A and B are shown apart, each in its own frame.
Chain A
Amino acid sequence: MNDRIARIIGPILLLLALLVGWEIAVRLTDTATWMLPAPSDVIRAFKDDWRLLLTHTRVTLSEVLIGFGIALAAGLITGIAIDSSRIIERALYPLLIASQTIPMVVLAPLFLIWFGYGLLPKVLVTALVAYFPLAVNTVDGLKSTDRELIRLMLAMGAKPGQIFRLAKVPSALPMIFGGARISVAFAVIGAVFGEYVGAKEGLGYLMDRSAAMFETPRVFACIFILAAMGVTLFALVSLLERIVLPWRRFTAGST
């Protein structure tokens, strides 16, 4: 229990110390607010613009969640398909890798041309960025199933569906969760990037506009919200993992 409190309080204290140091540094050097706002300026931006920030946060968050949801479904489906057959593996794996080598910088503007300024192109960028770790980890997770265990179940007379459900899925889940944690963090970056390229709303858009108008405190407010969003989603996935995989505590050592 003490250990837990220490784990939560530690980072908070460090963050506070950094913020105080930042505040002092900015005041002592008399840096202009539009160059580098002090934390107090950022807090003021939160207070003054909270309605605006909230609206745009909602947009970005829904892009992240929808994009991640699509990536999760697509990643699981392709992962299972690749694991289930050699032919599908040969056909799909190169495409999967290729999906990663096409730079987003090229794709995002194309999506803009094809799908306009709405939600869809951002969701697609987000989903594409989040897809890869999920698909790869699903494949690796399913393939990591102990072959001896599969043989044991075959000797019991287990049907393919039983082997999949009772042996393969549970074997794969730790790696799928690992992929999901990376993916949600990627998804936030993906959504902001999609908005940067062309949007009428969202935190990426707001940052872009605010920077253009030298509203630097608001830019920082957006950055804080995005960081908090990434950390929270990451923590939620970790929490879900702890609930779904209680046995991991006894095998995973440190985490």
Chain B
Amino acid sequence: MQPPLLNISNLTATYMEDGQHLVALENVNLQVQPGEFVCLIGPSGSGKSTLLDIVSGLFAEVEGTVEINGRALASAQRPGSTSYMRQRDLLMPWRTALENAALALEVHGHPRKESQRLAAARFAEFGLAGFEGKYPAQLSGGMRQRVAFLRTVLAERELLLLDEPFGALDALNRSNLQQWLVKLWEREQQGVVMVTHDVDEAVFLADRVIVLSARPGTVIHEERISLPRPRTRAMLTSDAFLAHRAVLLDALGLLEGDVA
């Protein structure tokens, strides 16, 4: 049996603010299998970003264990073992799209030229052909997001951590990128933990959706999504989709108001 790609057990995380303890996550248990797409939803402040910060090794004051590929790693050992896309695109304004996409490879020790060659080879696939030499300020929001995405994917880590990658985009751009991501992932089969506010997005993309409670965040529901792959937009109106959606909205406590 292959060990889970990510195994979080009994995780509790506390922020210190003005000498006060603020428990952000409490006793969280979570597993991600190799090649699995997991979406994380929960109210604002439930600790979703904190959870990704912990897995990527940015946040150390925690109890519990984090195992990646069966190895328990202390937080200082975790940086570099996952590929993290944070809520903002965080492109470097002084680097061209190509140079930005190549950043993670460079950080991981590939020579500059080779990193850029590897990045350039995938520009077309990410809908960015012809924009290699443009600076972020010259790109649209959707394109910037795709460059950030390419940078994340190129890091070639088995586990991708995505924090609301489409949060800042308008509905049309968002829907296009969702379809594009689902195709990309169905081909690559990397493990993904993706945070989102959007229940429809979670059901459309994920194999499994995990619901966190309001602060202190803890897992209150896990929903295995039964929709077949490859996913298509037509499924958005299917009965199975709507059933999953209703269960998740209920878990988030968002249904009560509507029922009456």
Contact = CB atoms under 8 A, between A and B. Distances in A.
Interface residues of B, number: 25
A170 B94 contact: yes
B103 A155 contact: no
B79 A156 contact: yes
B254 interface: no
Q: Looking at chain A, what size class is its interface with the partner chain?
A: 20 to 34
B200 interface: no
A166 interface: yes
A146 B108 contact: no
Contact of B86 (A151, A166, A170): A151
A235 B56 CA distance: 46
A149 B87 CA distance: 11
B81 A146 contact: no
A166 B137 contact: no
Contacts, number: 62
A212 B81 CA distance: 75
Interface in A206-221: none
The residue in B84, B93, B95, B155 that gathers the most chain A C-beta atoms within 10 A of its C-beta is B93
Contact of A166 (B58, B84, B107): B107
B206 interface: no
Contact of A156 (B93, B94, B104): B104
Interface of B: 56-58, 79-84, 86, 88, 90, 92-95, 103-104, 106-108, 135, 137-138, 155
In the A-B complex, the 6 residue pairs with the closest CB atoms: A157-B80, A250-B137, A155-B56, A155-B84, A157-B79, A170-B94
Interface of A: 146, 148-149, 151-158, 162, 166-167, 170-171, 173, 245, 247, 250-251
A157 B246 CA distance: 40
A146 to B, nearest CB: 7
Contacts of A149: 90, 92
A167 to B, nearest CB: 7
The residue in A153, A155, A158 that gathers the most chain B C-beta atoms within 10 A of its C-beta is A155
A152 B107 CA distance: 11
Contacts of A154: 57-58, 79
A152 B90 contact: yes
A250 B108 contact: no
B86 A148 contact: yes
A166 to B, nearest CB: 7
A156 B155 CA distance: 8
A245 B137 CA distance: 14
A149 B88 CA distance: 9
A245 B82 contact: no
Given A152-B90, A171-B94, 20 more contacts: A149-B90, A154-B58, A155-B57, A155-B80, A155-B86, A156-B83, A156-B84, A156-B108, A157-B80, A158-B107, A162-B107, A166-B92, A166-B103, A166-B106, A166-B107, A245-B94, A247-B135, A251-B93, A251-B135, A251-B137
Contacts of A250: 135, 137-138
Nearest to A246: B135
14 contacts: A149-B92, A152-B84, A155-B82, A155-B86, A156-B80, A156-B155, A157-B79, A158-B107, A166-B103, A170-B92, A173-B94, A247-B93, A251-B135, A251-B137
Nearest to B52: A155
